Chain A
């Protein structure tokens, strides 16, 4: 990884009471790459996400984003700095329409304030129109433009996942964290998702970090990955080396399988 670093996790450790959920997680992520974070359930993957996106403050360690220390910044400032995320259990604004959901994402880059709204300022009207147009554009990217006026909670599951990604893209991130994007998708949808992830990477100039259980997705799109188990990083490297790593096989399948192999 000789490219410029976009995000660096330096020895991230977080303790909840006596439990060390993640211990000394190190990662250096190059600009424009697609990387993965895997591990069995409860390994601390989402906790890592939460530390990078400002939802948790790490007990020790630092998060450096674009050369800037963002450790302990509140989530809304992390988002403003250029990190967007999705959630493992989809969290849409259920009562809003699909379009409104994406428009909320645009808000962080809007300049006018609420007083401009009251007085019908032309600059504000222009901006609101631009936001609606941009949101519609993003819905086209994820293929949901025909649902723009539907309530977001009425969408089918896969579409909700894509809407969450569109909403995250609306905040104009440089770095996108995807938490189990393929969860609940059938093989066909999973294939489409892999192409989609590659497509948005180039189209929006993104670096993408994803958590995923579906090995096909991780092995297929990631250039580099980290494997967590009980909060410890047990392996790191490109997909081929991870696939053969005995500690990874042990973590996923248990000890006997390693012996058999």
Chain B
């Protein structure tokens, strides 16, 4: 199959997706639409973490930090000035915070860029560290960001956070950004640059001997990942319309990590499928937290029970299917059509 057909098929797939979204918007209630929105944002976050961890092999736990940076940056840029005046009740904001304004699209990009810049800054010292040490250091980075958000009230309104952020992030924006993310990361992964990332993940010494400046490419991957994490955070802020530092705890990173591991480290398809699956399960499993009646016997609902179920699920994945849903395989049009033609020839004979 040549490249032009594939591009056409991709465009067609995007058209089918938008038709579905249009239909969903007409016929779904607010709750289901919210789930769709979360699927798109989770997919953006999972793809970006997969680029860093799955494809380049850098164990990073800093995603909540990048998301926080993206969320705060975007919120400051889209909150109307009157709303800001109402929010900052304890201390007055910096004048540039008060004055900052941008249209939503630029605000999201801004959130991504500031997160990417932060990624670049922490990446320069941290990416010299190996596996587990990098994980610990990036976890520390995410916590530092959260503590800073708590303690610079003139910038972030401290523990009160922001409320009444304009809810621009509808399904069109979210899925639009999802497509942009998927396109960018897939382009990188499928080019020779993707091979270079894979080489760094599989064997650093051999990659060095192949003339690859390991540090530079790790930094590149980390920064691109941080950019899309920031974008995801920005969209999430506008979707939820309220953010505060407590939202960006480690559990947020953990959720994204769970999606990436479930989908398969090193598979974009896996990340997208797992985002859909886990986001839906996350909502559907709410019933385990509500009281359950078995005959006349009542089991009291325990809040947080969902996470226990997920932890168990993750445990089982790690024990029995370590490579995740897709392993390192990807969805390819050739594969799909191969199935069809095989079935066709089987029917024929």
Choose among B187, B198, B211, B224 the residue that contacts A95 (Cβ–Cβ < 8 A).
B198
Determine, out of B69-77, B212-220, B280-288, the stretch whose residues face the partner at the interface.
B212-220
Contacting pair B192 A93 (CB below 8 A): no
Asked if B202 lies at the interface with its beta carbon under 8 angstroms from chain A, I say: yes
Contacting pair B210 A108 (CB below 8 A): yes
Asked if A103 lies at the interface with its beta carbon under 8 angstroms from chain B, I say: yes
Contacting pair B212 A76 (CB below 8 A): yes
Asked if B191 lies at the interface with its beta carbon under 8 angstroms from chain A, I say: yes
CA distance A74 to B213 in the complex (A): 9
Per-residue CB contact flags for chain B residues 183-214 toward chain A (1 = under 8 Å, else 0) read 01001100111011011011101111111111
Choose among B188, B212, B220 the residue that contacts A107 (Cβ–Cβ < 8 A).
B212
Nearest opposing residue in chain B for A102, CB measure: B195
Asked if B182 lies at the interface with its beta carbon under 8 angstroms from chain A, I say: no
Contacting pair A76 B208 (CB below 8 A): yes
Per-residue CB contact flags for chain B residues 173-184 toward chain A (1 = under 8 Å, else 0) read 000000000001
CA distance A184 to B67 in the complex (A): 51
Find chain B residues with CB under 8 A from A100 CB. 195, 198
Find chain A residues with CB under 8 A from B212 CB. 76, 104, 107-108
Asked if A7 lies at the interface with its beta carbon under 8 angstroms from chain B, I say: no
Contacting pair B192 A104 (CB below 8 A): yes
Find chain B residues with CB under 8 A from A75 CB. 208-209, 211
Contacting pair A84 B209 (CB below 8 A): yes
Asked if B119 lies at the interface with its beta carbon under 8 angstroms from chain A, I say: no
Q: Which residues of B279-336 are within 8 A (CB) of A?
A: 328
Choose among A85, A92, A110 the residue that contacts B203 (Cβ–Cβ < 8 A).
A92
Contacting pair B192 A131 (CB below 8 A): yes
Contacts A87-B206, A91-B205 given; indicate if A79 touches B187 (C-beta within 8 A).
Answer: no
CA distance A91 to B208 in the complex (A): 11
Count B interface residues, CB 8 Å: 27
Contacting pair A106 B202 (CB below 8 A): no
Contacting pair A93 B198 (CB below 8 A): yes
Asked if A118 lies at the interface with its beta carbon under 8 angstroms from chain B, I say: yes
Contacting pair B206 A92 (CB below 8 A): yes
Contacts A100-B195, A117-B188 given; indicate if A93 touches B209 (C-beta within 8 A).
Answer: no
Q: Which residues of A148-172 are within 8 A (CB) of B?
A: 167-168, 170-171
Asked if A114 lies at the interface with its beta carbon under 8 angstroms from chain B, I say: yes
Contacting pair B195 A104 (CB below 8 A): yes
Contacting pair A94 B193 (CB below 8 A): no
CA distance A107 to B214 in the complex (A): 13
Asked if B123 lies at the interface with its beta carbon under 8 angstroms from chain A, I say: no
B60: min CB distance to chain A, Å: 19
Contacting pair B211 A171 (CB below 8 A): yes
Find chain B residues with CB under 8 A from A171 CB. 210-211
Identify the interface centre among B188, B208, B210, B211: most chain A CB within 10 Å of its CB.
B211
Asked if B112 lies at the interface with its beta carbon under 8 angstroms from chain A, I say: no
Find chain B residues with CB under 8 A from A105 CB. 210-211
Per-residue CB contact flags for chain A residues 33-52 toward chain B (1 = under 8 Å, else 0) read 00000000000000000000
Asked if B266 lies at the interface with its beta carbon under 8 angstroms from chain A, I say: yes
Choose among A53, A107, A167 the residue that contacts B192 (Cβ–Cβ < 8 A).
A107
B217: min CB distance to chain A, Å: 9
CA distance A101 to B203 in the complex (A): 11
Contacts A108-B210, A108-B211 given; indicate if A95 touches B192 (C-beta within 8 A).
Answer: no
Contacting pair A104 B210 (CB below 8 A): yes
Contacting pair A110 B210 (CB below 8 A): no
Contacting pair A118 B188 (CB below 8 A): yes
CA distance A110 to B195 in the complex (A): 13
Asked if A55 lies at the interface with its beta carbon under 8 angstroms from chain B, I say: yes
CA distance A149 to B224 in the complex (A): 28
Contacting pair A114 B193 (CB below 8 A): yes
CA distance A9 to B294 in the complex (A): 82
B277: min CB distance to chain A, Å: 24
CA distance A114 to B191 in the complex (A): 9
A132: min CB distance to chain B, Å: 8
CA distance A162 to B113 in the complex (A): 44
A165: min CB distance to chain B, Å: 12
Contacting pair A94 B202 (CB below 8 A): yes
Find chain B residues with CB under 8 A from A118 CB. 184, 187-188
By a beta-carbon cutoff of 8 Å, the part of chain A in contact with chain B is 53, 55, 74-77, 79-80, 84-85, 87, 91-96, 100-101, 103-108, 110, 114, 117-118, 120, 124, 128, 131, 167-168, 170-171
Between-chain CB contacts (< 8 Å), 13 pairs: A76-B210, A77-B211, A91-B209, A92-B206, A93-B202, A95-B202, A95-B266, A104-B195, A105-B210, A106-B192, A107-B195, A117-B191, A117-B193
Q: Which 8 A-B pairs have the closest CB atoms?
A: A108-B211, A79-B211, A91-B206, A93-B202, A75-B208, A104-B199, A117-B191, A93-B199
